């Protein structure tokens, strides 16, 4: 078998879609996401001075790709645009505990944990790297029709 055969290729592959975020200070962001959200670092590629060219974090069975800014390549962090319109959503077992952990790690409170019309308990925090994170725990499973009815009632009420 040649040294470039598929049998020796990296086993790090993921199905589906994965967000790829760019931040200022990716190494620090990785440490933060591990501490705040329980992410697991899968791997990282770094330049000799420490700049992260690419890293992958696991959030349960989902992957988040992350890098430092590379303006010449078009990779820019939220601060370059006055913030990001993108927010990230994490399903957690316990919304209140996840919220407390994130805030203790340095996240900013945006929305306190609350039972929502769609049957889940949700909260939102901002990380120090320019992204909003929704923390969501399923509480009462609802059909889409039940959610729509609750949404309509809430809007009229």
Strand order in the sheet with 87-91: 87-91, 132-138, 120-126, 108-115
- Burial class, 62, CB count within 10 angstroms (exposed 0-12 / middle 13-18 / buried 19+): middle
The pTM for the full model equals: 0.86
- Closest by CA to 18, choosing from 66, 77, 85, 75, is 66
**Per-residue pLDDT tens digits for 36-91:** 999 999 999 999 999 999 999 999 999 999 999 999 999 999 999 999 999 999 99
- 41 has which bridge partners? 57
**Per-residue pLDDT tens digits for 123-145:** 999 999 999 999 999 999 999 99
Q: Domains for the chain: give ranges and CATH numbers.
A: 16-156 (3.10.180.10)
Of the chain, the percentage scoring pLDDT greater than 70 comes to 90
**pLDDT reported for residue 44:** 96
Polymer length in residues for the chain: 157
List CB contacts of 29: < 8 A, sequence separation 6 or more.
Answer: 23, 66, 127, 128, 129
């Amino acid at each position: 078998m040649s040294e470039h055969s598929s049998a020796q290729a990296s086993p790090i592959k993921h199905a589906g879609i994965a967000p790829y975020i760019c931040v200022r200070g990716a190494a620090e962001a990785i440490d933060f996401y591990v501490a705040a959200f329980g992410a697991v670092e899968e791997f990282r590629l770094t330049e000799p001075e420490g700049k992260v060219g690419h890293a992958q974090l696991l959030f349960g069975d989902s992957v988040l790709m992350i890098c430092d800014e590379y303006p010449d390549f078009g990779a820019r962090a939220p601060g370059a645009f006055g913030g990001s319109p993108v927010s990230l959503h994490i399903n957690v077992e316990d919304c209140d505990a996840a919220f407390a952990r994130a805030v203790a790690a340095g996240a900013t409170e945006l929305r306190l944990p609350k039972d929502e019309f769609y049957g889940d308990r949700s909260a939102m925090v901002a990380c120090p790297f320019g992204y909003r994170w929704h923390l969501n725990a399923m509480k009462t499973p609802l059909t889409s029709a039940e959610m729509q009815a609750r949404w309509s009632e809430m809007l009229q009420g």
